[in-house]
Chain A
Amino acid sequence: MADRFDDFLGAALAPAERLGDRKFVARVQAAIVLEKRLAAQRRSLITDLVQQLVAVAAVGIALWWVGRAEAVASRFAQSPALGLAILLTGFALLVALMSSRRPVATAGRH
């Protein structure tokens, strides 16, 4: 009885003898292709983010530097509202410029 049971259990629990499942292999390959694409998109997003941060910082530094010039500083001191309007317009132009860049979703496609 013990031998019969051991034989039964071993045979029942062993992986079934069959050929490789091509469908499953294709499914894994498709998942890997998707994974590669997502990784490329992530890299592209990070690159874009860094570029945008650098651009914003550069514009900020440029504005600060221009604002330090005596003529500009005195003009802003006389009319702070004009200074604020110029800053807001510049910021709006910057946002428009950034958002007009190519869509990130297509960046990783080969």
Chain B
Amino acid sequence: MPHSNDEDLALSRRAAGGDGAAFAMLVEKYERPLRSFLARSIGADHADDIAQEAFVKAWRAAGQYDGRARYSTWLTRIAWRCRLDALRKERRAEDAASEAAHAPPTGEVEDMLSRLSHSERPALVLCEGHGWTHPEAAELLSMPLGTLKSTVARAKAKCRAMWEGAEHG
């Protein structure tokens, strides 16, 4: 178990015992990366609601965190399940890619992400922006490792094309 997980494990155990201050420390430590990932992957409109729901579920399940994975990985998994549940409830497939595809690329990262598919976006954000390993991201996104790698490569190639196009266009 990496040393960095020990502190989070201790805080999580204290939270499981009803220590609200310990859980507040975990929220303060991990809200920034989680909300950033969600905002990039699913849009800023829903990111905070999903993040809040994920933290409440993490608080409820605090006793189940065993420190084997990084706390951020465990938390992001919970958030991603919340996201999938919300999607299932809404029965509203996200298709921002086709909406944005008509306007010329601007070279801004938000614009680039909006042109990626719903599976490319989180894969790229996690692996290129948040330092997740390919196996970690593949597990989170329920993808075979090979598919995840090709998804990241394809997303990156698309972004590169848009970036170069915007720079020279």
Write the A42-75 contact mask toward B (1 if CB under 8 angstroms, else 0): 0000000000000000000000000000000000
Interface residues on B, range: 20 to 34
A103 within 8 A of B: no
Nearest CB on B from A37, distance (A): 13
Nearest CB on A from B134, distance (A): 15
- For A8, give its contact among B24, B27, B52, B163 (CB under 8 Å): B163
Contact A32 B59 (CB under 8 A): yes
Q: What separation, in Å, do the CA atoms of A5 and B27 have in the docked complex?
A: 32
Which residues B6-56 have CB closer than 8 A to chain A?
A: 20, 23-24, 27-29, 31-33, 35-37, 40, 48, 51-52, 55-56
Q: What separation, in Å, do the CA atoms of A89 and B60 have in the docked complex?
A: 47
Q: Give B30's nearest chain A residue, CB to CB.
A: A20
Contact B128 A28 (CB under 8 A): no
Write the A1-15 contact mask toward B (1 if CB under 8 angstroms, else 0): 100010011101111
Known: A15-B33, A21-B32, A24-B27. A9 touches B52 (CB 8 A): no
Write the B52-68 contact mask toward A (1 if CB under 8 angstroms, else 0): 10011001100000000
Note all chain B residues with C-beta closer than 8 A to A32. Answer: 20, 23, 55-56, 59
Note all chain B residues with C-beta closer than 8 A to A20. Answer: 28-29, 31-32
Q: Give B35's nearest chain A residue, CB to CB.
A: A24
Contact B163 A28 (CB under 8 A): no
Contact B36 A15 (CB under 8 A): yes
Kindly list 16 other residue pairs between chains A and B, CB separation below 8 angstroms, not including A14-B130, A24-B31.
A9-B159, A13-B124, A13-B125, A15-B32, A15-B37, A20-B31, A20-B32, A21-B31, A22-B28, A24-B52, A28-B24, A28-B27, A31-B52, A31-B56, A32-B23, A32-B59
* 25 sampled A-B residue pairs with Cβ under 8 A: A9-B109, A9-B129, A13-B40, A13-B124, A13-B129, A13-B130, A14-B130, A15-B36, A15-B37, A15-B129, A16-B32, A21-B31, A21-B32, A21-B35, A24-B27, A25-B31, A27-B48, A27-B52, A28-B52, A28-B55, A28-B59, A29-B24, A29-B27, A32-B59, A35-B56
